[in-house]
Structure 1
Amino acid sequence: MKKELIRLLCRKSFKYTETPSFKLVSGRMSRFYVNCKPTTLCARGMFLTGHLIFEAMRDSGATAVGGLTFGADPIAMATAFASELKGQPVNAFSIRKTQKDHGIVKWVEGDVAPGEKVVVIDDVATTGGSTIKAIERARAEGLTVVRAIILVDRQEGGMENIRKHVTDATAIITRDELVDCWKNEPGVA
């Protein structure tokens, strides 16, 4: 499944150039561009992602999975669906970027309650900032974050930063794996 997802990401979500051509949120230029949404929102990508994330969290004791909207949302939903298919259901949740200012004011939406063990996920980690924000907001709502799982680690310090907040943090796919596929597998670039 992982190799198939790497190929799918290379076809739909990854760009690579020899010279820095892609502007990042930070403003700096990069040789790599990763936008997982075309992959995580397609049927096959959703299937592969959900199963791989579920396998990576299966032994965590978590009852729910989610992260900062919008990057984590399709991954959380796919993981919850895959978990039900495997007979070990975990719920999905979403963490808002801005706090709701009406009704019940909260950061987290979903079927989760304070004290529950959860896994925080994200589609891509560069510096880890959005994942760390999700971890902090989940904890502010009383959730116990037991693991962080990133779909694609850009290998630019993000995982190390995330581990300062959750020691049990892992990535499913690395930038190096995407570059290797991009350069060596016919038909993906």
Structure 2
Amino acid sequence: MQAYQEGFLQLAIRKQVLRFGEFTLKSGRISPYFFNAGLFDDGESLDAVCQAYATRILDSGIAFDMLFGPAYKGIALAAGTAMALARQGRNLPVAFNRKEAKSHGEGGSLIGAPVRGRVLIVDDVITAGTAIRESIEIIRGQGAEVAGIVIALDRQERGADNALSASQEILRQYGFPVYSIVGLAELLDYAKDRAELAQYREPLQNYRNRYGVSA
């Protein structure tokens, strides 16, 4: 595990973005962990997580021309990641969408730079993939192409009616990759050496064994 991934998990646990216990997901599954990126709710933590996004993006080597943040959580994440990348010498345009188009002022449903070229989508997680698919249609509707997607956490579990995870389904359907700062595999690796997470190791592994997908 890379240092930035470990730092991300430490921050997520400290901010209770990542919690452990028993959580009923929308799918009906009982998960031993839950992730809520909305709790990166202050300047320091948001700056740190966006730096982790930037590092993951640069490590991936992906070629892209701008960032796009889907409403709502993706808006702050894309803006913060653009600033983190600029500090590392990559000053890139950023845009995001509204849930509802405005009929006054500048109008429309898009804010920020024109959506052009190869667009990297920045969001928190992929569950059913609905918001991501909406973003893909928006980007393609502007005549641009999606370079890929970067998220904070990949649950790496198959869908209810599919052997593929949401990330794998996106790759199969659209042909571009989904990058994550961490996945369930990294979370398991992180938990194995930390006494404070000892009680959660077995539930996490059992969940992975039951619902996980192969890489």
TM-score (norm 2): 0.72
Q: Which amino acid aligns with 1:33?
A: F
Moved more, 41-50 or 125-134: 41-50
- Corresponding residue SS for 1:126: coil
Give CA-to-partner distance per residue, 1:110-163, whole Å, 9 cap, x none: 1124x3221012101223222222222222232321111111111221111221
Aligned pair in 2 of structure 1 residues 30, 73: CA closer, same or farther (>3 Å)? farther
Give CA-to-partner distance per residue, 1:39-87, whole Å, 9 cap, x none: 2x33343233222322333443323212211221221111111111112
Aligned pair in 2 of structure 1 residues 56, 179: CA closer, same or farther (>3 Å)? closer
- The residue that corresponds to 1:9 in the other structure is 12
CA contact (8 A) 2:69 2:79 kept: no
Q: Which amino acid aligns with 1:174?
A: G
- Corresponding residue SS for 2:108: coil
Distance 2:62 2:186 in 1: 25
Aligned pair in 2 of structure 1 residues 175, 10: CA closer, same or farther (>3 Å)? farther
Q: Which structure 2 residues correspond to residues 6-155 of structure 1 after superposition, within 5 A?
A: 6-11=9-14, 12-17=16-21, 21-24=22-25, 26=26, 28-31=28-31, 32-39=33-40, 41-58=41-58, 59-103=61-105, 105-113=107-115, 115-155=116-156
- Corresponding residue SS for 1:107: strand
- Corresponding residue SS for 2:186: helix
User: What is the total number of aligned residue pairs between the two structures?
Assistant: 183
- Corresponding residue SS for 2:174: coil
Unaligned runs of 5+ in 2: 158-164, 201-215
Q: Which runs of 4+ in 1 moved over 6 A?
A: none
- The residue that corresponds to 2:162 in the other structure is none
- Corresponding residue SS for 1:72: helix
Tell me the CA shift for residue 165 of structure 1.
Answer: 2.2
CA contact (8 A) 2:149 2:177 kept: yes
Distance 1:76 1:121 in 2: 5
- Corresponding residue SS for 1:125: coil
Unaligned runs of 5+ in 1: none
Aligned pair in 2 of structure 1 residues 71, 167: CA closer, same or farther (>3 Å)? same
Q: Aligned-pair RMSD on alpha carbons?
A: 2.5
Aligned pair in 2 of structure 1 residues 175, 108: CA closer, same or farther (>3 Å)? farther
Distance 1:102 1:61 in 2: 35
Q: Which amino acid aligns with 2:49?
A: T
Structure with bigger helix share is 2
Q: Which amino acid aligns with 2:90?
A: Q
TM-score (norm 1): 0.81
Distance 1:153 1:112 in 2: 29
Aligned pair in 2 of structure 1 residues 81, 30: CA closer, same or farther (>3 Å)? same
CA contact (8 A) 2:146 2:176 kept: no
Q: Which has the higher contact order (CA 8 A, sep 6+)?
A: 1
Q: Which amino acid aligns with 1:160?
A: Q
